[in-house]
Amino acid sequence: MHYYSKSTGGFYDSTIHTEWPEDAVWITDEQHAALLVGQSQGQVIMPGKDGKPVLTSKAPSHLHQWDGKEWTLDKAAASQLLAEAIDQGTDAINNLVDEAYRHVTRFQPEYEVREQQARDYKAGGCKGEAPMQVAAFAKPAGKTACEATDIIIAQADNLRMVMGKLGALRMRKFELKGLKTAAEVEKRTAEILAEIKPIADKLGEVGK
């Protein structure tokens, strides 16, 4: 025979145990087996209102409380959960953008010098000896100095546009503060991160 104790959350087998808690209730072998199967599939065993064990999904959060029938969340806990979700979402957005920026800022002084030299060379009609950074770009790429100049300027303009878009997406973190539930915050955070990631991945190629 099997028994379940609400106070310990454990099972007791009469063929093994000689004593068990006073609140232990008897369950059939079939019920015991079904509970273990459900547990192996990711569900959790919790005490029902009558003290008998039931299967349910895992708690949605560390603040949810089991009332014998379902997981509940009072107003104070819901407010705390919302605040935590906002903080976590904000950090996730900031961190992903920061990581993307690092690929660019690593060699930023070099990029800025190369761009300026290319723009000056372009403004002068690509005449005379190519500036050092333009020449350093042109030779391994198999381009003329003037072709390299156009590529450098186009890349700089594109990078500036991408960085601007990334900055605008990072500002969307403030949308989280206007949402009412942790679930809404988590959903919006995932949406924002999904927009940031492909841009961050492309910036990850910069400087390689």
DSSP class of 14: T
pLDDT of residue 105: 83
pLDDT of residue 142: 94
Output the average pLDDT for the chain: 93
pLDDT of residue 175: 98
Residue that is written with structure tokens 């063929």 in the block:
15
Question: CB under 8 Å, gap of 24 or more: what pairs does 148-157 form?
Answer: 148/118, 149/118, 149/121, 149/122, 150/122, 152/114, 152/115, 152/118, 153/115, 153/118, 153/119, 153/122, 156/111, 156/114, 156/115, 156/118
Rounded average pLDDT over 92-112 = 91
pLDDT of residue 106: 82
Residue 72 has pLDDT above 60, yes or no: yes
pLDDT of residue 206: 67
pLDDT of residue 124: 94
pLDDT of residue 80: 96
pLDDT of residue 168: 96
Q: Is the pTM of this model over 0.75?
A: no
Q: Report the distance separating Cα 122 and Cα 151, nearest Å.
A: 11
Residue pLDDT, tens place only, 181-195: 999 999 999 999 999
Rounded average pLDDT over 112-123 = 96
Residue pLDDT, tens place only, 131-174: 999 999 999 999 999 999 999 999 999 999 999 999 999 999 99
Q: Are strands 10-13 and 2-5 parallel, antiparallel or unpaired?
A: antiparallel
72 Cβ neighbours under 8 A, 6+ residues apart: 64, 65, 66
Rounded average pLDDT over 44-50 = 95
Residue type, 154: A
SS3 48: coil
Residue 99 has a CB neighbour count (10 Å cut-off) of: 13
